[in-house]
Structure 1
Amino acid sequence: MAEGKIIKALSGFYYVLHEEGIAQCRGRGVFRKNKITPLVGDDVIFEPTNETEGYIMEIKKRKNELIRPPISNVDQAVIIFSATEPAFNPFLLDRFLVLIEHNNITPVICITKIDLLDEETKSEINRYVQDYEHIGYDVIFTSAKTKEGIDQLRPYLREKVSVFAGQSGVGKSSLLNALLPQLSLKTNEISNHLGRGKHTTRHVELIQFENGLVADTPGFSSLEFTDLEAEDLSNCFPEMKKRADYCKFRGCLHVSEPKCAVKEAVEKEEIPKYRYEHYVEFLTEIKERKPRY
């Protein structure tokens, strides 16, 4: 038996990185029977059948997992949003942040395509960035074209399993190409008709990078709060979580309850109003979610 990590899953095969190289493995039939799907990022025990092939026998316990993109055991998520084309979208960014926080993954916000910004848009985005940095998030500005910010991003990726996540067309693959030019990952322009990116990455794959692993993931434009309960949502907003103990009522949802420390902070502009409005929208969505049986 040998141990390794799944770095790619494609057409029923799992490519396992181990001390002596990469083995192309099949999963045991019992996984399918027990409705267990091996994920990229899984630490596994496999039985080699020759130098390059084998069977996955056991999946070790995951410390976390994401559904979209399907990946496990992530240390941090580099949430990539473009400054323009498509336009910076704080509502969608907050959806990503909520799901990343819910899965106990450290987020890093990366804003791409800053070479395309005019002064007015740059000023507007800087106001958002100041808010996110005040909350405690790390924010990096980058341009795959001019290479600005690339060296600032590199140290974040060393000796960690990182996932690049964001909607289509924000420049995830272009950013990875700037970090690792030898990859030559396929990229595409924005669809002018649809105003959103064309999907260029077709599967999740972990790429070795300076003693760490980086995942390029398929782009997507919708995220569902399928496993998040209403009472847990505010814990995914760090600026709300640290004030929750000062609310009058335990389990306060920060909407209609009296003497709510979070609402008081919004009124004092200590919490950005748009962040609170996003919270209320997400809370309504979770409450109206159809029950699963």
Structure 2
Amino acid sequence: MPEGQIRKAISGFYYVKYDGGTVRCRGRGVFRKRKITPLVGDWVTYVQEGQEDATITEVHPRKNELVRPPVSNIDLALLAVSIVEPAFSSSLLDRFLVLVESHGIQPVICLTKKDKTNESELQAAEEAATYYRSIGYDVLLTSINEPDLLNKIRPYLEEKTTVLAGQSGVGKSTLLNTLLPGLSLETGEISESLGRGKHTTRHVELHEVAGGLVADTPGFSSLEFETLEKQEVGSCFPEFAKAAEQCKFRGCLHLKEPSCEVKRQVESGEILKSRYDHYLQFMQEIMDRKPRY
């Protein structure tokens, strides 16, 4: 039976790309009973029914999946975080980083709207970029109107399936329009009263960009750690994972344990205190989470 990859999902239909083109599919009725939901990015087997329609009969195993946005088999996450309009939020950035790290996805931080900053805002952004680079992340400072933007991002996108994520209003659709001018995604104005943008992307789709695939996804206003356990959080902070090798106790949670190397490095300034504060916040949220049955 033929196989392909779901490139778009909208109104109950799945658009599957195969060697000869694209076919519109529905999922098997039994999927609902088995609690199987096909996702954009899934590799699937399908049965042709007529010239235009088909039915997905099997969803192949995934290497990872995200709940919001609903995308699977992601290699890289391009995390769009604005420096201004809305103001830079290191807490939100760290949430994105923890989420993608927990799914084994390589993050690339894209700080947007550099062209709209004043001198002090730009300096703060560059200082943040320096720290995140020091712990192993790739960080790009971008302006939507810079002529070399595609060439700056292209090396990360080639032969990868990338999710473009970020809160509303940070310029995700504008960024993707820059990467693929013919796409012409709708962009939204920033709400001055709320300080955040309106959602403008209404479905999930993989677009061919710069030798890879990029998913344009709805913006986020919040993120929850729905499946992450407290024992896993430390490994999602690269500098914590490295320091933890010198903690006295194996499995140290870096909370009240004695001889904790993470806490020592926070006190010495080697680890950014805001990163540790966010770690404590995320740990508390997970410990307060209602148990799942």
Structures share fold, TM-score greater than 0.5: yes
Aligned 8 A contact 1:142 1:148 in 2:
no
Alignment of 1:102-251 (within 5 A): 102-147=102-147, 149-251=149-251
Aligned 8 A contact 1:141 1:149 in 2:
no
Paired with 2:80 and 2:45, the residues of 1 have a C-alpha distance of 33
User: Counterpart of 1:224 in structure 2: which amino acid?
Assistant: E
Deviation sequence 1:154-207 (CA, Å, 0-9, x none): 121111100000000000000011111000111011011111011000111100
Paired with 2:234 and 2:225, the residues of 1 have a C-alpha distance of 13
User: Counterpart of 1:250 in structure 2: which amino acid?
Assistant: R
Paired with 1:176 and 1:52, the residues of 2 have a C-alpha distance of 29
TM-score by length of 1: 0.98
Deviation sequence 1:261-291 (CA, Å, 0-9, x none): 1111111211111101110111111111111
Deviates more, 1:249-258 or 1:97-106: 249-258
Aligned 8 A contact 1:147 1:178 in 2:
no
Paired with 2:46 and 2:94, the residues of 1 have a C-alpha distance of 39
1:30 CA drift (Å): 1.1
Matched, 1:100 2:100: yes
* Matched residues, number: 293
Aligned 8 A contact 1:141 1:148 in 2:
no
In the alignment, structure 1 segments of 5+ residues that lack a partner are none
1:149 CA drift (Å): 3.3
User: Counterpart of 2:28 in structure 1: which amino acid?
Assistant: R
Quick one: structure 1 residues 147 and 111, their matched pair in 2 at CA, closer, same or farther if it must change by over 3 Å?
farther
Aligned 8 A contact 1:83 1:114 in 2:
yes
Matched, 1:271 2:271: yes
Deviation sequence 1:245-270 (CA, Å, 0-9, x none): 21111111101100001111111211
Paired with 2:152 and 2:210, the residues of 1 have a C-alpha distance of 14
Paired with 1:107 and 1:29, the residues of 2 have a C-alpha distance of 36
User: Counterpart of 1:98 in structure 2: which amino acid?
Assistant: V
1:148 CA drift (Å): 5.2
Aligned 8 A contact 1:168 1:199 in 2:
yes
Runs ≥4 residues deviating over 6 A: none
Paired with 2:149 and 2:26, the residues of 1 have a C-alpha distance of 40
In the alignment, structure 2 segments of 5+ residues that lack a partner are none
Aligned 8 A contact 1:45 1:56 in 2:
yes
Paired with 1:121 and 1:209, the residues of 2 have a C-alpha distance of 31
Q: Which residue of 2 aligns with 1:83?
A: 83
Paired with 2:147 and 2:163, the residues of 1 have a C-alpha distance of 20
User: Counterpart of 2:168 in structure 1: which amino acid?
Assistant: S
CA RMSD in angstroms comes to 1.0
Paired with 1:250 and 1:292, the residues of 2 have a C-alpha distance of 27
Paired with 1:147 and 1:271, the residues of 2 have a C-alpha distance of 36
